[in-house]
């Protein structure tokens, strides 16, 4: 990383083991995408070259819950699918994190029906809520960075019984939408 070139020769670096562990954990968050609908497309865009989730060390998408520590639920969850989501959550090892991406995952969105879960937080703990229909990739990145900061600062909340509590953080929109329709520039020479 170039650090060794700026340090004098024969120098040593000391730190706390816990800091190194936290640094390693926050720099290698591996997401498991539970993408069931259109929000999943934004999730894919976040990992692609334009937004480049690899800048935050979180691009190694795993489809095995045993290899992932960040569950991203992107899209509506039907009642029939709920046991699958719960099983995946339970199979992930601690410390694990959950992001509810988009209105559907957080509240059921416009699907106010008996067949759609009206908020996954009724059934699994949610750490970060990302609003929007769909949320932009920047907002998902903001949510992942929030989790990274929590890991880095060793602020994993625990209840009196020692069990981990959800962070319960809602991300605010962080972009300015452009006016529509955008002006045409092609073929007007």
Instruction: Find the binding residues for ligand SF4 in span 120-139 (CB under 6 A).
Output: 133-134
Q: Is 102 a binder of ligand SF4 (CB under 6 A)?
A: yes
| Residue 32, helix vs strand vs coil | strand
| Residue 141, helix vs strand vs coil | helix
| Residue 114, helix vs strand vs coil | coil
**Segment near ligand SF4 (CB under 6 A); pick from 2-10, 18-26, 84-92, 99-107:** 99-107
Rounded to the nearest angstrom, the gap between the alpha carbon of residue 61 and the centroid of all alpha carbons in its chain is: 11
Q: Is 93 a binder of ligand SF4 (CB under 6 A)?
A: no
**Which CB atom, from 140 or from 151, has the smaller least distance to ligand SF4?**
140
Distance CA(64)–CA(77), nearest Å, equals 19
Minimum distance, C-beta of residue 37 to ligand SF4, in the bound complex (Å): 4
Q: Which of 92, 104, 117, 140 binds ligand SF4 (CB under 6 A)?
A: 104
In this structure, what is the dihedral angle of CA atoms 4, 8, 13, 19, given to the nearest 10 degrees?
-50
> Could you list the residues that contact ligand SF4 (CB under 6 A)?
37-39, 75-76, 102-104, 109, 133-134
């Amino acid at each position: 990383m170039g650090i060794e070139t700026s340090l004098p020769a024969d120098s040593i670096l000391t730190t706390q083991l816990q800091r190194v562990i936290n640094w390693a954990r926050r720099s290698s968050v591996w997401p498991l995408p539970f993408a069931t609908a259109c929000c999943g497309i934004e999730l894919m865009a976040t990992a692609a070259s334009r937004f480049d989730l690899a800048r935050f060390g979180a691009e190694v998408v795993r489809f095995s819950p045993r290899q992932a520590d960040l569950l991203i639920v992107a899209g509506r969850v039907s009642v029939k699918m709920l046991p699958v989501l719960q099983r995946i959550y339970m199979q992930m090892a601690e410390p694990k994190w959950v992001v509810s991406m988009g209105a559907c995952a957080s509240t059921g969105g416009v699907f106010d029906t008996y067949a759609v879960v009206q908020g996954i937080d009724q059934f699994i703990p949610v750490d970060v809520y990302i609003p929007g229909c769909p949320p932009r990739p920047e907002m998902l990145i903001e949510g992942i960075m929030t989790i990274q900061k929590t890991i880095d600062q060793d602020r994993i909340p625990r209840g009196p019984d020692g069990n981990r509590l959800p962070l319960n953080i809602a991300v605010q929109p962080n972009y300015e939408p452009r006016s529509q329709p955008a002006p045409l520039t092609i073929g007007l020479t």
